[in-house]
Amino acid sequence: MRGLRRVYFLTSNRSKFREAAEIAFASDFRLQMLSAPKIEIQSEDLREIASYAAKEAAERLRLEVVVEDAGLFINALKGFPGPYSSDVFKRLGTKGILTLMQHVSSREARFYSAAAFCVPNANPKCFAGIVRGRISTRERGKGGFGFDPIFIPAMGDGRTFAEMTNSEKNRMSHRAQSFRKLVRWLSSVRIGT
């Protein structure tokens, strides 16, 4: 077990945890889900939200923690729902987004992820991932979570994220990208310790 290092992923979202843990699995790190209070600030910038939360939690819990913040930014809606995507999902669902987009022909959108890592007494380090695509005209698929049933990634074959298997989504998703960068960085800085 030499080299296997535990990093705590502060989240209460099991689907999110599962996606991230799969990415980290091939590395020297094991993500452990940690359900604890988290201070999320309001900001336009997901990196700022994730970094603040990671720093605050690392100091309070005295642990090495990862916090990830993700959001769906729709061009025609000036970036809505953006940083408040999970709150908007809870209140309006995918149906609310489809209603807002009903007469909108320009359907470009992007999913963005910011994964911040922090050790007590240090500054947080943040990694971003982005996937461009478009909003579908109706819900499709049962996989994924959140707004996945209405998001069609541009680099895919026309299916929504929710129509893909986990590993298909993980090949291109915003979260996969940010966590891959994080894991690569963690591996590099640990060499020799």
The nearest distance, CB 46 to a second copy, in angstroms, is 12
Question: Cα 73–39–35 angle (5° rounding)?
Answer: 95
Choose one: 2-10, 86-94, 107-115, 145-153; the region binding a second copy (CB under 8 A).
86-94
Query: Residue 41, interface with a second copy (CB under 8 A)?
Result: yes
The pairs formed by 81-90 with CB atoms below 8 angstroms and a separation of 24 or more are 82/44, 83/42, 83/43, 83/44, 83/45, 83/46, 83/49, 85/146, 85/147, 86/13, 86/146, 89/146, 89/147
Query: Residue 28, interface with a second copy (CB under 8 A)?
Result: no
The nearest distance, CB 18 to a second copy, in angstroms, is 23
- Angstrom distance (rounded) from CA 176 to CA 151: 16
Choose one: 28-36, 81-89, 125-133, 144-152; the region binding a second copy (CB under 8 A).
81-89
Cβ-based nearer residue to a second copy, 93 or 120? 93
Query: Which of the residues 53 through 72 are near a second copy (CB under 8 A)?
Result: none
Task: Read off the tokens for 85.
Answer: 């995507």
Cβ neighbours for 84, distance < 8 A, ≥ 6 positions apart: 71
Query: Residue 124, interface with a second copy (CB under 8 A)?
Result: no
Q: What type of residue is 70?
A: A
Cβ-based nearer residue to a second copy, 116 or 183? 116
Q: Can 69 be counted among the known catalytic residues?
A: yes
Query: Residue 145, interface with a second copy (CB under 8 A)?
Result: no
Task: Read off the tokens for 189.
Answer: 């800085």
Contacts with a second copy by CB under 8 A lie at 39-42, 49, 77-80, 82-84, 87-88, 90-92, 96, 99-100, 102
The catalytic site residues sit at 69
